[in-house]
Amino acid sequence: MPQISLYIDKDTLSRIERIAHHDRMSISKWVGSNIKTLIDDVYPEGYFSLFGSMNDISIRRPESPGFSNDTRRELL
């Protein structure tokens, strides 16, 4: 299997180690999986051309809630 070398700062490596450990994956597998996700086509061909193709006035976008009741997020 081909290999790749990455040069990253300590903080980034620390975050990757923590996330990979949380996901119960090796660092190599986690990085490879995330790179693959970035370069793979996630949506089928023609998916985005469907936006706006439905003409139904009963479907409305709900009002966005404010952030006042939002919970604090864990920093990764």
pLDDT band, residue 62 (cuts 50/70/90) = confident
Q: Tell me if 76 is assigned to some domain.
A: no
Rounded alpha-carbon distances, angstroms, from residue 35 to 19, 31, 67:
15, 6, 31
> Is 2 among the domain residues?
no
Backbone phi, psi, residue 57, to 5°? -75, -10
Q: Report residue 22's pLDDT band, with 50, 70 and 90 as the boundaries.
A: very high
Domain count, the chain: 1
Parent domain of 16: 8-36
**Is residue 60 in a domain?**
no
Whether the pTM exceeds 0.75: the reply is: no
pLDDT at position 10: 96
In a domain, 68, yes or no: no
Q: Is residue 24 part of a domain?
A: yes
Q: Is residue 25 part of a domain?
A: yes
